Each structure stands twice: as structure tokens, then as C-alpha cells.
């Protein structure tokens, strides 16, 4: 986070307070082989809703990035980590200066794929907003309304719960796949 702050030209310690005593997530992923890999995704296209993602992928590969209107494979490098800026950092903490990237995980027909992912999230009680140095205001402009990271998560969970109730009434089997983008805070 310090390097990102330096790159933005703000105090290198600025983001430390957002992440001290925060609850972050570490997840392992297993993507089994698939006989028709072009008809399936390990995860569909998405941007990470958290602040920063650190990925360790095996040598099988399967991470694709969407750049210049097409998908590009990210070749695994032994011992390397993939660092991805998430929506919270891109849209709120950097005020849109940094961007999160659309990506996906794909499967293949020959080998299963494994990865280890760390999702860095701000403390739930912290207001998610950019440093004052990153906000440009014009005369008469109003300050944006910002909410805490925890409230963003709660609002998303309420939306998911309401959708699940609705879908469980309409699904004949009672099962469904639900992919919901987390709304981004407004940019100034």
C-alpha cells in the first residue's frame, strides 16, 4: 500500500490506517479439469470489489485479463505473485487514478489448476474516501457522500439476500447461480 501511496504522490503512510486491524480474506481455489473448457469458466469476468488482491497461481495458469477489448493470458512465473488493484482502492481511495482490471479464471482439459488468493480489505468502520490531495473541486462543488466499507458490504448482503429470496421462489429446482457486481462509490 505504501508503494501505491507514493505513486499517487500522497504520504506513504496514508493508507495504513484503513487496513490496521482489518479483516481480510485468504482463499484457496481448485479448478478441476473440464472436457469442454471453452464452455466453462473457473470464475466469470469480474473486477475484485476489495482494495488489493494478491494471487499465487500454480504453473498451470488460467488467469486472463481483458485489455484493449480482448482477453490476454497471464503466463505464470515461478515464485511470482500477481497483484491486482480492486474497486475499493481504484474507485474510492485513489479517486479513479488507479483502475481495477476485468479478469477471469479459466479451466482446461488437461490439468487441474490451484491458486491461493489474499483479498486485502479496509477496516469495516473506516470511511472509504480519497485523500484530500486527490480530490479536485471547483467553486460551488459539494463534497461527495462516502460510507464505510462495512456499510458497503452490508448493503451488498441485503441486496443479495433479497435476490436470493426472490430467486428461490422462482427457481423450479431451488438452485441457482448468482453473480452480483458490488456497486462502486461515486467518482468526483
Instruction: List active site positions.
Output: 113
Q: Which helix H or strand E contains 159, and what residues bound it? A: helix 149-170
Q: 3-state class of 73 per DSSP?
A: strand
Cell numbers given for 175: 438452485
Written as nine digits, the cell of 85 is 488493484
Report d(CA 153, CA 145) in Å as an integer.
16
How many beta carbons lie within 10 A of that of residue 159, not counting itself? Answer: 13
Cell of 35: 472436457
Strands 113-120 and 70-73 come out as: unpaired
Classify residue 131 by its DSSP letter. -
Cβ–Cβ under 8 Å, residues 72 and 136: no
Q: Which residues pair with 25 in a beta bridge?
A: 119
Cell numbers of 63, please? 488467469
Amino acid at each position: 500500500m505504501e508503494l501505491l501511496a507514493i505513486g499517487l504522490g500522497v504520504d506513504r503512510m496514508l493508507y495504513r490506517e484503513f487496513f490496521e486491524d482489518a479483516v481480510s480474506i485468504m482463499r484457496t481455489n481448485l479448478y478441476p479439469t473440464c472436457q469442454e473448457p471453452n464452455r466453462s469458466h473457473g470464475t466469470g469476468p469480474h473486477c475484485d470489489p476489495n482494495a488489493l488482491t494478491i494471487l499465487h497461481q500454480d504453473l498451470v495458469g488460467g488467469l486472463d485479463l481483458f485489455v484493449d477489448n480482448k482477453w490476454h493470458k497471464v503466463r505464470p512465473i515461478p515464485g511470482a505473485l500477481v497483484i491486482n488493484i480492486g474497486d475499493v482502492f481504484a474507485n474510492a481511495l485513489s479517486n479513479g487514478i488507479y483502475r481495477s482490471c476485468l479478469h477471469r479464471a479459466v479451466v482446461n482439459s488437461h490439468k487441474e489448476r490451484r491458486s491461493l488468493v489474499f483479498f486485502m480489505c479496509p477496516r469495516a468502520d473506516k470511511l472509504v474516501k480519497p485523500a484530500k490531495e486527490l480530490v479536485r473541486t471547483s467553486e460551488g462543488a459539494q463534497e461527495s457522500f462516502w460510507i464505510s466499507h462495512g456499510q458497503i458490504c452490508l448493503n451488498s448482503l441485503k441486496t443479495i439476500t433479497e435476490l436470493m429470496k426472490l430467486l428461490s421462489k422462482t427457481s423450479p429446482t431451488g438452485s441457482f447461480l448468482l453473480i452480483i457486481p458490488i456497486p462502486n462509490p461515486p467518482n468526483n
